[in-house]
Amino acid sequence: MAAVRKTLAGALLLAVAALFAGCAGEQGRVAIPTPKASTAQVSLPEPETFRLSSGLAVWLLHSDHVPVVAASLIVRSGSSSDPKGKEGLLSLAMDMTDEGAGEKSALELADEIQFLGASLGLSTGKDYSSIDLQVLRRNFGPALELFSDILLRPAFSEKEWERVKRLSLNSLRQRGERPTSVARVVGDRLYYGKHPYAHPEDGYSSTVQNISLEDARKAYSAALSPGNCVLLITGDFEPAALRGELEKHFAGWKGPPARLPEKAIHSPHAGRLARVGQHQAQDSPKEPLRLAVVDKPGAAQTVIRIYLQGKRYESSRVPALTLANTIFGGTFTSRLNSNLREEKKITYGASSGLASRRVWGHLVATSSVESGATALGISEFFRELQAMGKGSLRKGELRKAASTQRSRLIESLETQAGLLGIYSSAAALNLEPTERRDFYAAMAAADEKSLEAVSKETYRWEDALVVLVGDRGVIDKALDELRNTGRARGGRPLKNFQLSPAKYFNREGLPETASTGPDK
């Protein structure tokens, strides 16, 4: 037995030695295996659509592999519909919907949902909102009755309103202490300017303070009309039987005719678009590099958040840009994460994401790096952007990105909520149910040439907005280091590197000297 322990101990020491030798040895890029191209077909189910007598559109996705029903009421109104000075209104109104409905109080409603083994979710995005239900098929009848009460007969009681509003204000105060949230709030505000996408869905402390219960009632009533909603539902249903069951609960739902969002593109930066082509101008704004700093004294990390031009949801470039983003920062083995985490070891993770919306969108790259590595973090973001902007793909990157997106699609198809999630944006933006099928077909057809073209157009450091949240003294020192030496300690010299003068903002995105709250 002692001999066995000795052998195991020796093997462990050898393994540890090999690990440290690997860390101290080759510092080049980690080789990521490229998956073989798959020839298996992945087919998207096509929703069966019908309309109830109330005018509510229904998209049914038949699914019988699990005895669960998922339903999502898509409301074609989001935080971009909030009136100026009352940013956060629709989000707050949506939060009230499960605080008592029909004949039930908030506690009674929560108890009944729990008794049925159901789950309820409420969310408000920039373009649309949703109310989501998931329950076992055998409990769908009573759950649908509760769901219809929540949608059509929310209580909006004074007592619950005071509590919900107080919790919302507490959450907004806490948001200001989370650097990653601060970076998002400040970045969105500066990138979108005076556009309704600029404010966070839950608003600002000063604007939520101004919202009354009557404001919330009116906002909910205006948004929740049958012509402004689509019900997505998946489960083991016969269409005729489901229609009959839904009619029992929604036949009396009344509301004004649908007022769907216009397709016209609105940009507050129109005057700055003269130097770009017409097609680019329709998709998103472009302007010179800006550098925003938010002070968080004593922060152990600096949040780096970089905004680049994005595309509106319906842009023909989105499939190729989705694949390019997967390569850039969309997976654990992406270029960004491989560099900042695996090679430089200055962060737990670096990533990028694409936000494509009805009007326009953005691509954002972000990481929280060690405070002392702020300069190195900025320089490596620049280096990776510069490499992507050249449009040259490495061997196997396109296949790997396509395989990743394919796996994510299959993953979504395996769950009820994931299946509905595939179609939610198309329903919200009044597109055809087949829109996602066309999107994935375009992604499958994308080649290196299309990825290179969209990368050259998108990954441009000179057009970026850079937001830094951390200790101002540390950040200023890092910026001076980069400007004075053209490189970061521990990094290689940077070619064609530039930094705009830094401007300083508070945690809600206003200049430091201005008062907190939205522009008046």
Q: Please give the backbone phi and psi of residue 36, each rounded to the nearest 5 degrees, phi first.
A: -70, 150
Burial class (CB in 10 A: 0-12, 13-18, 19+), 162: exposed
pLDDT in tens, the chain (520 residues): 444 333 334 433 333 333 333 333 334 454 555 555 555 567 889 999 999 999 999 999 998 888 999 999 999 999 999 999 999 999 999 999 999 999 999 999 999 999 999 999 999 999 999 999 999 999 999 999 999 999 999 999 999 999 999 999 999 999 999 999 999 999 999 999 999 999 999 999 999 999 999 999 999 999 999 999 999 999 999 999 999 999 999 998 987 765 655 544 444 443 333 233 333 334 444 456 799 999 999 999 999 999 999 999 999 999 999 999 999 999 999 999 999 999 999 999 999 999 999 988 999 999 999 999 999 999 999 999 999 999 989 999 999 999 999 999 999 999 999 999 999 999 999 999 999 999 999 999 999 999 999 999 999 999 999 999 999 999 999 999 999 999 999 999 999 898 999 999 999 999 987 444 444 3
Q: Where are the domains of the chain?
A: 48-250, 282-505
Is there a shared CATH topology between the 48-250 domain and the 282-505 domain? yes
Give the integer Cα–Cα distance in Å for 380 and 389: 14
The CATH classification number of 282-505 equals: 3.30.830.10
Which has the closest alpha carbon to 499: 354, 303, 346, 289?
289
Instruction: Please say whether the beta carbons of 357 and 261 come within 8 A.
Output: no
Q: How far is CA 104 from CA 132, 141, 152, in A?
A: 19, 17, 13
The CATH classification number of 48-250 equals: 3.30.830.10
Token pair for residue 74? 């898509």
Which has the closest alpha carbon to 341: 324, 325, 354, 329?
329
User: For strand 301-309 and strand 465-470, is the pairing parallel, antiparallel, or unpaired?
Assistant: antiparallel
Instruction: Please say whether the beta carbons of 189 and 516 come within 8 A.
Output: no
User: For strand 129-136 and strand 119-124, is the pairing parallel, antiparallel, or unpaired?
Assistant: antiparallel
Q: How far is CA 447 from CA 40, 399, 417, in A?
A: 19, 10, 31
Dump strand ranges (E) for 37-108: 48-51, 57-62, 68-75
Residue recorded with tokens 């300069």: 375
Which has the closest alpha carbon to 187: 459, 513, 508?
508
Q: How many CA atoms lie within 13 A of 75 on its CB side?
A: 26
Token pair for residue 127? 């373009």
* Predicted TM-score of the model (pTM): 0.85
Rg value, the chain, Cα: 25
Residue recorded with tokens 């860390």: 23
Mark residue 203 as left, alpha or beta (left: phi above 0; alpha: psi -120 to 50; beta: remaining): left
Query: Which spans in 49-139 are helix H?
Result: 89-95, 106-115
Instruction: Please say whether the beta carbons of 343 and 334 come within 8 A.
Output: no
Q: Please give the backbone phi and psi of residue 490, each rounded to the nearest 5 degrees, phi first.
A: 90, 0
Bridge partners of 236? none
Cα of 213 vs its chain's centroid, Å:
29
Give the integer Cα–Cα distance in Å for 371 and 477: 11
